[in-house]
Structure 1
Amino acid sequence: MSENIEYLLNFAIENGASDVHIKTNRESILRIKKKLTKTNITIDEKELNDFINVYVENLQKKVEFKQNRRNSLDAALSFNGRRFRLHMYRSNNGLNATLRLLSEDIPELVKLNLPPDIKRLTKAEKGLVLVCGATGSGKTTTIASIINEINKTRAKIIITIEDPIEYVYKEEMSVIEQREVGVDTESFTQEGIDAMREDTDVLVVGELRDLDTIKNAITLAETGHLVFGTLHSKSVIDTIDRLIDVFPPEQQQQIRNQLSSVLFSIIHQQMVGTEKGVVVIAEMLMMNSVLANQLKSTETKSNAIKDYMRTKKDIGCQHITDNILWHIENRRLELTDVKFILDSDDYRLLEMRLNY
């Protein structure tokens, strides 16, 4: 591999970068504490191709990408004692790559500063749990921490279906099988079918990208498994809408009925850059029979769900304003840090609660 890429990745590690952006024949960029930082390092296409050859182990993905049979390449790799998630793609400027630095170890759940009641999810027996947010909001890390807590405290058979495998678990009380799409299994859907025949207790099915993966996750939860997945969404309410809207109109009532019986929890999280660093803010929905009946309705009532999350703290719900207030009280955030994240009503509510 070229000295330029070696230097760039080492520089990223030493300076606590979260992401490395490489555009061929252009200045490479690091993201450090949510801010973009230019470097003086330029990588050419040959260097990037050499990088694939040395560090990407999935031969099938490499061959298909080089032969233009796939538009992008996703893989996890190790360099200088650290793990990275690689996304390589082509554009009108040539070959490009984005690398995300992964935590060296799976963080303890309590250290993520998520709503404290998230620990309830580690005790669940069945149902669908969704961790949602934008790209880079820490969804994969949250699920890994939940799974590792189950691994430490319960004797379960856990199967993860990943593309690529990012965190590597060390078995403790549980038995864990990690399978990579394209290496150990042909698809998320096929592995989900196989998992039902393998006496599995807990399944991590990765990102719910389309109708088939959503339907598969719901089916797995219906058969008595505890299923974890991720989804790109703007909020808890948006998550519910997206799950339903992906289906054709004639199937949406059926999906509402299925979700009402299997949905266990939705966590939505986002990262906020502050002068002190990065803070994850989150809201958490825990289901009960009242909300399950409302889900069956033909319309998701956003204000009713907001009120539900504010008032049902006893079962583990937390509205985003309550979570932000918790961070402010613990001196991790200032109110001004979230001014452009909250809508005007929620921001005014926080101002009143803080006597601003």
Structure 2
Amino acid sequence: MSLDLASPPTILPPSLRGGWSLDRILKGARLHHASDVHLVRGLAPIYRINGEIRPIDGPPLDAEALTSLVGGLLSPKLRQSLEDKWQLCFSRHLEGVGRFRVSIYLHAGVPELAIRICEPRVRSREELSLPPIIQELTRKSSGLILVTGPTGVGKTTTLNYMIDLINTERRAKIITIEDPIEFVHENRKSVIIQQEVLTDVKSFRDALIHVLRQDPDVVVIGEMRDLETIETALIAAETGHLVLATLHTPDSVQTIQRIYSVFPAAQQNAITVQLANSLQAIVSQKLLPKADGKGRVVACEICIANAAVRNHIREQQPHLLYSEMQTGKKLQMQTMDHALLDLYQRGEITYDTAVSNAREQATIKHRTGDRT
């Protein structure tokens, strides 16, 4: 069985003897600039290149091959966790590949893998196409900064850029809680303690209970998943720490709504006050194919917590944030539609990409003179 896709990258001949090697699969992924590798029963390994699924030439993986590949990656503790939970996420480092994140899941009782190839270095803001306001936000001494968006849009990459900037510019103690660690930072001006879920701590919640006793200046939360994690993050942001975190929400409005909805009704008024007081900004991302087909570019919606935004949060009116972003250009706010329009006008993305990702397609069409 093979996927019907044109010109797949070829790193191994179809007559490969001895089965697939994870070392060669991952080195091939790095060579072809793949962001992800998918190992699925009945198919040869698959790369994601510039957002597109592309197969490798070679024999399909069977249950025995997948079980062997998984077994070679797991410590006794991780093997037990996989047996208990039937799914697992962790990171590894391989010479010639660098760091990679592994997600193991079961499909018809057989383990399969989705592997993210981590960035070998922290790229500059210009290379990442991040707006200048990101630098200014990272220089805040306290408060909550959220980086949001669906899976695979570069939230962790943005977070690591922000950590690296703090590490380069000022003396601070930075504690990160990640699941898993995708980039290992070296101590420069700052002291960085990176803790990995299931390796160093049992959960985000358990780690955050103790992290504030470790004298941090900056707390980085790989993902705010539950009520306890969100609640502790807000307490940390309120008590003089800079908290950087990610959330799987598509935009600023839904981010605020998600935080509200996690808490029971009796707590929501108190939480909205905490959030309004501590929030510094929400950066919502989309990763889009470039117009020339060579890679992808990030589009960012920026919501800065000015007095009006804080008031809308306090009054539980997140739907009004959109109008604040539309009129907040002086504070470097922008809606996703504005970001898409700017990328299109600079020739970074196609018109169809801009329109298909817009919140209000009519706005893009009107600003570009499309009357259809």
- The TM-score normalised by the length of structure 1 is 0.92
**Distance in 2 between residues matched to 1:170 and 1:8, nearest whole Å:** 28
Cα gap change, 1:41 to 1:311, in 2 (>3 Å): farther
- Aligned equivalent of 1:256: 272
SS at match of 1:69: helix
Q: Is 2:300 the partner of 1:285?
A: no
Judging changes above 3 Å, is the alpha-carbon distance between structure 1 residues 155 and 350 closer, same or farther for their aligned structure 2 residues? Answer: same
1:116 to 126, 132, 135: 132
Distance apart, 1:44 and its partner CA: 3.2
Matches within 5 A, 1:83-102: 83-92=99-108, 94-102=110-118
State the Cα distance separating 1:2 from its structure 2 match: 5.5
User: 1: CA distance between counterparts of 2:346 and 2:167?
Assistant: 29
Shift of 1:142: 0.4
Q: TM-score, normalised by structure 2?
A: 0.88
Aligned residue pair count: 349
Shift of 1:191: 2.0
SS at the partner of 2:339? helix
**Aligned-residue offset at 1:61:** 1.7
Which amino acid is 2:155 matched to?
K
3-state SS of 1:251 partner: helix
Amino acid at match of 1:44: D
* Alpha-carbon distance in structure 2 between the residues aligned to 1:339 and 1:349: 9
Distance 1:45 1:227 in 2: 43
Which residue number corresponds to residue 174 of structure 1? 190
- The runs of at least 4 consecutive aligned structure 1 residues that moved more than 6 Å come to none
Note the C-alpha offset of 1:178.
0.6
CA contact (8 A) 1:260 1:295 kept: yes
- Equivalent residues in 2 for 1:31-46, closer than 5 Å: 31-39=48-56, 40-46=58-64
Q: Does 1:71 align with 2:86?
A: yes
What RMSD in Å do the two structures reach over aligned CA positions?
A: 1.9
Q: Deviation of residue 78 (structure 1)?
A: 2.0
Aligned identity (percent) is: 32
- Answer whether contact 2:169 2:189 (CA < 8 A) is retained: yes
Q: Which residue of 2 aligns with 1:136?
A: 152
Could you say what secondary structure the match of 1:327 adopts? Answer: helix
AA of the residue aligned to 1:290: A
SS of residue in 1 equivalent to 2:105: strand
Shift of 1:261: 0.6
The correspondence of residues 144-293 of structure 1 with structure 2, limited to 5 A, is 144-274=160-290, 275-293=293-311
* Structure 1 stretch displaced more, 307-316 or 260-269: 307-316
Deviations 1:67-104 (A, max 9, x none): x2122111111232322110001121511100011111
CA distance in 2, matches of 1:93, 1:188: 28
| Stretch deviating more after TM superposition (236-245 or 215-224) | 215-224
5 Å matches for 1:322-341? 322-341=338-357
Structure 2: unaligned runs, 5 residues or longer: 1-17
What's the CA shift string for 1:120-169, capped at 9, x where partnerless? 11210111111000010110000000110111011111000111111110
- Mapped contact 1:4–1:42 kept (Cα < 8 A): no
Higher alpha-carbon deviation: 188-197 or 254-263: 188-197
